[in-house]
Chains A and B, each alone.
Chain A
């Protein structure tokens, strides 16, 4: 996927062609206007929503919930994963419970969360934490277990205490796995935030998009989707950026992610 470094004229032309076709079809058939507004109208709606700030506010709400939920779950899952990966006894104790909970599609927790926590921010953040914990946890456990036992023994031989073995051997060794888990967790967190906002919310982009659909303002709905997509794209790029920087220094990374 790294071969296409020069500007992809072909790809951008096909994308532009798609948009132009969309625009022309939508203009030619006013009957479709409700479902299928012309691209130009969507852009106008986006511009207007940005100018009035309404979409920015919803976006910030979603981003805040996402950040809170994702960072909490990263801290929780990495800590727990290191413990479960390191202490066999703890793992054998919890393995069955984990194996039973994990296959349940995470969104099924939303009704329980509504029951326990109502429909506020707390509920949305909690379901986000719950859902994105799993990939991070499982990958961290695998990562800790993949650390070469000889390295740990060597550390012991040189008289490192448990804390330094953890910080200087186990965490760096497990970091590729942890990063994979964190990347999967990122997109899951985004899915859960938007879903929870659709099912029980009065703010946020998930709410905004579904609400505009129900009000039959399809141009606004598409504008909301563009904003969510841009947010998802930006978050992924940010993650990749942090990942490449972290992989250069390797252990500085873990401290930052746990924090």
Chain B
């Protein structure tokens, strides 16, 4: 039954595409602005086969993942310390509250000033924008750790490092993963924006450049590539979460199905 519902959705989508194709073919819509779906697909496969799209995606992903992993590497530990110690929390609270409401794209000009058009500019912007969801979720996760667990650790005379590593980190991991999940689409959005505003390569640049050169089908092909990329990143994240949080299996997957 479920399979049948799914099929209905796909059928509806195919019908829409068929109408689009026919309308464009009959020149009811301007093919210069909205080309035939079949043409977009053809160009998409050509660009994939020629290696142009995979190369641009590779360039973008290198930047995106560097920024993302840096954000995780800096802000998960900071979040753990801020979650454990009220003093460290208070020390950073005001600075965090001042920086957090800055819409991330606005940081691009600053990064341009400091780093120019290179990779560092994008990495910095992604680092900045992924920082807040990761940090705040880590703090919440650490604060939510059951007191009984901490007292048990104390009873067994676990060292501070061991308590963090063996008790606090695993217990707050689900919430830390939530922060990382929320940051994933932000990472993708920001790499695209920073490549649109200041770059000479990458998939974001590719899409905007195609539009400026009026290579419209190529622009849509780039967008299709981005949609597939977003989907695959999400699936990859699910897989990693499934491996990292064996006890959570089956709980979080439903949320994504919308």
Contacts and interface: CB of A to CB of B under 8 A. Distances in A.
B8 A191 contact: no
A104 interface: yes
Contacts of A212: 109
Interface of A (DSSP majority class): helix
Interface in A89-146: 92-112, 114-116, 138, 141-142
Given A105-B185, A225-B106, A225-B110, A99 B258 contact: yes
A94 B188 CA distance: 25
Interface string B180-197: 000001001100110011
Contacts of A95: 5-6, 9, 258
B163 interface: no
Interface string B107-138: 11110111000000000000000000000000
A213 B230 contact: no
A12 interface: yes
Interface stretch (A50-58, A160-168, A192-200): A192-200
A232 B258 contact: no
A82 interface: no
A96 B231 contact: no
Contacts of A31: none
A104 B232 CA distance: 11
Interface string B12-49: 11001000000000000000010000000000000000
A29 interface: no
A98 B6 CA distance: 12
Contact of B211 (A4, A98, A111, A198): A111
Nearest to A237: B101
A209 interface: yes
A104 B109 contact: no
B12 to A, nearest CB: 5
A149 interface: no
Contact of A104 (B87, B113, B230): B230
B193 A229 contact: no
A87 interface: no
Nearest to B203: A108
A187 interface: yes
Most buried by A among B10, B87, B105, B188: B105
Contacts of B216: 115
A210 B102 contact: no
Interface stretch (B92-100, B149-157, B169-177, B245-253): B92-100
A4 B113 contact: no
B93 A11 contact: yes
Contacts of B9: 92-97
A190 to B, nearest CB: 5
Contacts of B210: 111
Contacts of A228: 102-103, 106
A14 B98 CA distance: 12
Interface in B208-246: 208, 210-211, 216, 219-220, 222-223, 226-231, 233-234
Nearest to B255: A142
A34 B113 contact: yes
A100 B227 CA distance: 7
A131 to B, nearest CB: 9
A210 to B, nearest CB: 5
Most buried by B among A99, A101, A205, A218: A99
A259 interface: no
A114 B211 contact: yes
B160 interface: no
A3 interface: yes
A229 B101 contact: yes
Contacts of B108: 198, 210
Contacts of B16: 97
A10 interface: yes
20 contacts: A4-B89, A4-B90, A8-B93, A92-B6, A95-B6, A102-B258, A105-B188, A107-B192, A107-B204, A115-B211, A116-B33, A138-B258, A190-B103, A198-B193, A210-B197, A212-B109, A213-B113, A224-B106, A228-B102, A229-B106
